[in-house]
């Protein structure tokens, strides 16, 4: 997944200094005894991932300009999920509500053809109609196959409710919500009840690849091509795609869709991260992408995602 997001700073452990020959040694009454093993010498406790692996749900940490919070994410076949209900959320947006009202009015319009001769021009003979019907049947079968394949594809679903992403400031508050039985989009999973019975605050420890720093993306892009962090930007793109799909944000999906300028940025960053001749070509492609355009686009994306977050303490 590219280079790590953070540069690890290793602190060298200092070897214990031997007492100066001219200075008297401290006995038990004048100094503390040196421990046999310091805390830094003990191996770090490994995080138990068995709960998440078994239930196929993962804790996620997302940093946004307003703060950092924890949530949950799972992947399931699209056919097994009921999408989040965005009706209430969209009604809160006056511009979106007005556009939907106009679309409904247009759908209600009835077209009446008054001129019989004009109507006749659109009539088809029986043979051509049959050919069209036969072709339509073939197309329908093809469309059904594509639909079935799409339904089998695993898609993301987050801890959300009515189109709002639920973000929690602490592991304790997240666990409290899970145990509360409050309505949310993950409760439709067959493993949800077991999670609510077994999860503990110590389990809310997202892996590095499930930690996303969307708050740093715009500033990083503003720094120019030489300062762009491939890992940061690639992982932000993955998170934004998952969130926009799960929360039903078509505008964000369009901005990150294949062929868009931000998708070109993502492809070029991946090429540079993979190394080899592809990295050289990737760097050439990156130089053609405007830093200002990229930063403005991502500022819009982060803003739209932030607008559908329900912060919980």
Determine the structural domain holding residue 186 and report its residue range: 50-94+154-312
pLDDT tops 60 at residue 124:
no
Indicate whether 209 and 109 sit together in one domain.
no
108 and 231 in a single domain? The answer is no
pLDDT of residue 214: 98
At residue 119, does pLDDT exceed 90? no
Q: Mean of the per-residue pLDDT values for the chain?
A: 79
In a domain, 261, yes or no: yes
105: pLDDT strictly greater than 80: no
Number of domains in the chain: 2
With a cut of 90, say whether residue 30 has pLDDT above it: no
| pLDDT attached to residue 112 | 47
Quick one: pLDDT at residue 8? 38
Say if CB 283 and CB 311 are below 8 A apart: no
> If pLDDT is split at 50, 70 and 90, which confidence band does 25 have?
very low
Beta strands 67-77 and 309-312 are unpaired
The distance of Cα 270 from the centroid of its chain, to the nearest Å, equals: 17
Q: Is the domain of 302 the same as that of 243?
A: yes
Domain boundary residue among 152, 170, 187? Answer: 152
Is 3 among the domain residues?
no
Of 152, 176, 196, the last residue of a domain is 152
> Stretch 240-268: mean pLDDT, rounded?
95
pLDDT digits (tens, 9 = 90+) for 209-223: 999 999 999 999 999
In this prediction, residues 104-118 reach a mean pLDDT of 49
The whole-number pLDDT of residue 148 equals 56
Distance (Å) of CA 215 to CA 18, 68, 138: 48, 9, 49
Asked if residues 208 and 5 have their Cβ atoms less than 8 Å apart, the reply is yes
| 67-77 confidence digits (pLDDT tens) | 999 999 999 99
201 with 101, same domain?
Answer: no
Domain-located, residue 64: yes
Q: Residue 207 domain-assigned?
A: yes
Choose the final residue of a domain: 152, 171, 198. 152
Q: Examine the domain organization and report whether 144 and 132 are in the same domain.
A: yes
């Amino acid at each position: 997944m590219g280079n790590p997001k953070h540069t690890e700073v290793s602190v060298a452990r200092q070897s214990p200094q031997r007492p100066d020959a001219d200075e008297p040694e401290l006995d038990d009454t004048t100094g503390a005894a040196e421990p046999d093993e310091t805390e830094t010498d003990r191996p770090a406790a490994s995080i138990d991932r068995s709960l998440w692996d078994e239930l196929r749900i993962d804790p996620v940490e997302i940093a946004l300009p307003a703060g950092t919070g924890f949530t949950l994410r799972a992947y399931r076949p699209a056919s097994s999920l009921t999408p989040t209900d965005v009706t209430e959320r969209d009604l809160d947006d006056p511009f979106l509500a007005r556009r939907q009202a106009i679309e409904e009015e247009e759908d209600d319009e009835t077209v009446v053809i008054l001129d019989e001769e004009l109507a006749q021009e659109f009539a088809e003979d029986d043979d051509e109609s049959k050919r069209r019907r036969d072709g339509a049947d073939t197309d329908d079968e093809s469309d059904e196959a594509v639909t079935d394949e799409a339904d089998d594809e695993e898609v993301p679903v987050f801890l959300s409710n009515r189109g709002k992403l639920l973000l929690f400031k602490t592991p304790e508050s997240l666990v409290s919500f899970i145990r509360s039985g409050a309505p949310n989009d993950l409760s439709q999973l067959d493993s949800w009840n077991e999670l609510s019975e077994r999860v503990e605050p110590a389990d809310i420890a997202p892996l590095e690849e499930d930690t996303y720093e969307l708050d740093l993306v715009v500033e990083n892009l503003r720094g120019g091509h030489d300062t762009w962090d491939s890992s940061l930007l690639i992982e932000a793109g993955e998170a934004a795609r998952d969130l926009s799909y799960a929360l039903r944000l078509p505008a964000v999906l369009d901005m990150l869709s294949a062929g868009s300028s931000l998708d070109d940025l993502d492809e070029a960053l991946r090429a540079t991260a993979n190394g080899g001749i592809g990295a050289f070509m990737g760097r050439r492609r990156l130089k053609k992408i405007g830093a200002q355009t990229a930063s403005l686009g991502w500022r819009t994306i982060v803003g739209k995602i932030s607008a559908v977050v329900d912060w919980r303490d």
